[in-house]
Structure 1
Amino acid sequence: MTDLESALSSAVQLYGPGFQRDPGPLYARIRREHGPVAPVLLDGDVPAWFVTGYREVHQVANDPQLFARDTRRWNRWDRVPQDWPLLPYVAHNPSVMFTEGAEHERRAGAIGDALGAFDQFELAKHCENVADSLIDSFAGKGDADLMTEYALRMPLTVLAKVYGMPRDRTPALVRDIMLSLDAGPGALQAYARVQRAMTELLDDKRREPGPDVPSTLLAHPAGLVDDEIVLDLLVVASAAQQPTANWIGNTIRLMLTDERVAVTLVGRRESVGQALNEVLWHDTPTQNFIGRFATRDTYLGGRRIRAGDLLVLGLAAANADPDVRLAAPDSGGNHAHLSFGHGEHGCPYPAPEIAETIARTAVEVLLDRLPDLALAVAPESLQWQPSVWMRGLTSLPVAFSPAYVALAAE
């Protein structure tokens, strides 16, 4: 059994352009050469364990007593510079992301109650209205970039209503959330701007409460204080925006490039659910997640894990684990993927259902409105966002018949 220090000589760099283009083969190579738990170097060559096995990710996520979320346990803080681009993922704050035990139940329960209080039928109708409005903005052109003009604008535009947020504030919020999640230059500054935006929203709701998530959290019997609500609003907004936008974009790409799901107009709506689920298995928007921290010395996947070691959850790698894929090859009807996380810190109910409503509606309305939609460039020329953590396109150029669209939109 080797611990992290003795395994560093063979550690893999978990950053760089290879993970941005086609990370699947790299995940497979890491698993093949290092097993289900591999030593890796994060940005700045900060060491960590990378958990690639489905069973091992499930075990880590399902045991919060042994693999916990409080980042103050990390035994490598002395290696982290103040401008480290991944700091937003690990800098401890009083958000629900870093709580544990009874405190996490209190906070996650309040979020679930606030999200669940919003009528799901009203949400679905609002999603349709948002999708139609966004499509109207480019329907007459005959071409569009479905990432910048549609997928990236859809989730937070929907969430603006759930949050009771003025829609004119959403473009800046989308930009800053993208910057903070990409873990590149300016990530820390973008995160600070998102936090200020949530503080302003909470101040608005205290003055004029409404049927929205911030107002519900303010009045919730859990007794949340302002700092907790602000940071939890930020967590929900971040989780709703980039992963859902990438889910939409990756699904549209799949349907335009893969003959198995790019079927006739009559069958397209029926194949949307299959495509959405297939993306979660094979091109999941959240590829890797930081992470869990061992509370004591233990063993995992043939590795000796020391107390305080960081474990990065390789969600995409685990979904592609040959053991689970051979056991359940039909991804179209199999929902056992780990794309929403798992366990205490998995995506809380009803957040996955809300994300699916947004993504499914976005794809279905688009296909209904633009039935001759086609990719405007060669599939191999599409560029991916430069992130090891998220999987999404930088652009998705398409072409369609503007005359038909203009008529359909009237």
Structure 2
Amino acid sequence: MVRQTNTSQSSTDTNGPSCLEAAHSEQLHRGSDSNGLAESMVVSATAKHGDQLDYARQFRQNIQRGSLNETQEDETTSRKSNTICDKNWKGDLIFNQLATCKHLEVEEQEALIKEMGLNLWRTRRAALASLDVYLKSKHKKASSILKGNVVLNVRRALDAMQKMGKNNQQIIAIRRGICSILALLTNNKDFTRSPLISSFMKPIVSTRIKKPKYDKAWNISKLLDFESLKSTDKTQQNVMLHALVLLEAHSTLRGTELASITRDSVTVELDSIKIIVSKKKAKNGGREIVIRPRFDKTICPFVALSNWINMLNDKFPGKQAMWLNKKNLQASEQGVRDLLRIRIRQAGIGKEYGSNTIRHSVMTELRKTKLTLQQVNMLTDHAPSSIIVDEYYNKPEHPLGIDDVINQ
């Protein structure tokens, strides 16, 4: 087993080249898990991983769009254009107004957006966009939030949006996004811990009860046995699905993380494959996954990935995509989840189970071994003190009995 550790990194630059800062990874060799999952599971260090999308042009366009008068704006939104599909475009405008109030030039604003990274900025601008209805109802500009008592202004905005019908989940997301942006602009790191805001959020957060979507987890052995049988099928679709599923089973990567993998982020060595994975919810930018060979070659992620990468190099030498859809184009996040779901259906897993249940099944299997909750957290990229694995994922098909514990 390889223990997963994370180290702090500087924020992701969405336009620059990937800058890797390898950190030390430590191996914990432990006893028995029947499928050898913990032994070959990976973790390691984090690294800076750059997305190729550039928000700069979109940000500038939205600022220009916001400078139009109300009539022109209505005409613009009635036309068919790329901005119609972007429901959160006003988040750019509100951020611009807030940043301008703090005397930041457009170039400096763009630099902050790039440092946040694509996924983090996407959620933050969505939260800012939610402010638009509140500001219009009060006939105020975004810059008014930064005047006077900023914390009190945010508290009033959250209270008003709750009264407008925003549900608890939306309020939580809006508070997180707005507070993080204002903390960035005001250089006040304790902004979100203010009693005015925490007292408002406490009853909202306390009502959140995360319940498992599935009553029990299917046995991961069922999928691994199927993959063992399919290991000799050399068709393109099978080689890809075989590699994708085994990577998921031996790393418990999330669908978003799997979709972020490109050819540039994969390094094949003689005794390992290193993958730089961008993380959606992390300040450190990402982590490095190390895949090593295992004894059973029919369900070995190292062998499966090597075969798939060789096939990609032969058939599509100029492409950066790692996972392909039916048109041999890069699969989206949902496309990757669809591929995983297709595979578990082929393996005979019930239709009620989604692609995320591969993670669910692996975590349950790991908790059947002698691994502690903290060790499973490190393997599966959860916070060391998190109890989510036991409360949410650890739902075995047949709960462990005393004999099972003694036999471990």
TM-score by length of 2: 0.22
Higher strand share: 1
